[in-house]
Structure 1
Amino acid sequence: MVHDEDDEELVNARWQALGVRPFDQEVYLEALRHPQMGVAGWAVGLCAPVTRVRRAADRLLELGLLHRTARQRSRLAPVDPQLAVRAVVRRRQEEVDRLVEAAGSLSEQLADTYEHGRLRARPERILEVVEGADETSAQIGELLADADAEVCVIDAPPYVSPNEHGRAVDDGLRARGIRSRVLYDAQGLDHAGKFPRAMAAVAAGEQVRVVASAPLKLLLVDGRVALLPLTGSESGQRHRSVVVHGSTLTDALQELFEVVWRQAAPLRGRGQLPDGRLAREEGLTAAEQELVELLGSGLTDEVIARHLGVSDRTLRRRVRELQDRLGSTGRFQAGVRAAQRGWL
């Protein structure tokens, strides 16, 4: 059985949770018992000074537990508790939400200041060397798991593992609302499974581009931490990577990514022209449009032929037919005329 003192403590705790002081509680309860008496009458009922009761009433008015009467604005009366308490709870929740938002922003600022201080004290913290292929793969997984806003990838050989970096579009980032942009090196798409994965990412709505020759391979998370190789070896303990933490180095790597991204060709899905028109509106067959897209992405003939499931000879024939249709004598001229028609 709960004692009366315990009951009183519990009630007081509930009032305090609403931001109501102990004496203010007494004033509000007196107001509920005698709503027409006003501040002076409540002071008499409580045997308390009128000035003290008025200060409490002003606080209750601010909380929304009291209101000014319509006929006499200087006169206070209690608000229906069922309405007033819910309103107080809503306001308190809004205050908590604002506090949480402010605290989150403040903690990020303080964390940045703290990290910069650590880097000044120990500059070697900027760089972290990762030894071995297994450790590098594990580090990639950790970086992707910690992503908050965006993952940028330059996918280029050599590869530590078959799924390296390509996991950026496979590990549920989209489900977490995280944007990903992947740049594929054209030669890298020759590796088994790379091109189908890239096309699957495009079909899923990811942003994918192809560049003729990537300057390096890179994983960049939220513009604040990057991973890139230190060695060219693809296998075993000989492989070394470096993790670069927030600094001017990560800023430079982000800028490098943006430069290459602007120069790269978008990899698009089947049948869709850049301005949203369908290929058939231009009289293109699905096969012709697919070939235009693949050629425009800068892919090698080997990758295109493998993707289409045709021989190199068949591919060359289809390219010549496309050139004839465009009235061009070479691939470059064909590309220009395809772009002029809005096919690229």
Structure 2
Amino acid sequence: MLQALGLGTAEEAVYTALLARPTASAHELVRQTGLGESAVARVLLDLSERGLVVVATEGGDRVPDPSGGSGSARSSARYRLTPPSVALAPLLVEQRNALHRAEAAFTMLTEQYRSTAAHPAGSVVEVVVGREQVAHRFHQLQRGAQRELLMFLVGEPSAVAREDADISESSALDRGVDFRVVATKDYLDGPGVGRDVREGISAGLEIRLAESLPLKMMVSDRERAMVPLDMADSGAEPSAIVVHRSGLLTALVQLFEREWAQARPLFDTSTGVRAEPVADDRPTEGELEVLALMLAGVSDRRVASQLDVSIRTVERRTRRLMDRAGADSRLQLGWHAARAGWL
């Protein structure tokens, strides 16, 4: 946990050990962490130099003396943490600044790559060949999404094993990424796909069903898209194109939105996943919890806090409720919920 703030494994072990008690001696920390005496001594000195640890004395706290004095004096000293809200704040600011610098460098390098005269075509479209290369690029785009993922699913997955794709899907949903999928009927016929779809819907995945789709596709943050290439020769290696920001990418996004608008929503019900719910189809328990709090006048942020879910999950459940009710506003949703006896 603290490694994200620049602390090593040993430093985190000593820090968390001190966190559980008011004060502790070096010997007590050795027993509690399982580290050697010299390792604990080095860690305490390092933490003190960072301002995270002080020596607790009757006359007031002081920073540990690097020279130490006698061995007995060092072993009898008791250490305590500086208040984390004070001591860890500079480390957090430092890591945030480093991330901002990394983002700035990323943007600069991306723009420089796009504008390089030596790669006029490659700045828009790149070709990826080989099963491992295609799978690697797929995961890069999916795991790199920060806001939105759009996907067409057609037939059985090939270049990317479905269980690997499921891991990336869960990771995206956990990060609060808005994930929308349009799938064809033949995709849902695959073994185990129905179970995965139900789990995805429960986690916040939005999925709709189409009779047919023109291609397989994934769009990440509307910045990049990946389109597998169908090869006539079944023995040929899988290949795909990655489309970067351009008029072609805009056309792919518009294609997705058109198919999404025409596709039928899929819902997770007690009898399985099905499209176009019947009139007596009730919302899920999670959706009813959101509805009850929303009708009580609780804000989305407070609803998310009370239910221990992300605010994106609250927004997704609200949108699914409105789709079920055919409502254009939350006022209409409340009227439909009362009329249908949802609460």
TM range (shorter): 0.3 to 0.5
Larger radius of gyration: 1
Instruction: Identify, as 1 or 2, the structure richer in helix.
Output: 1
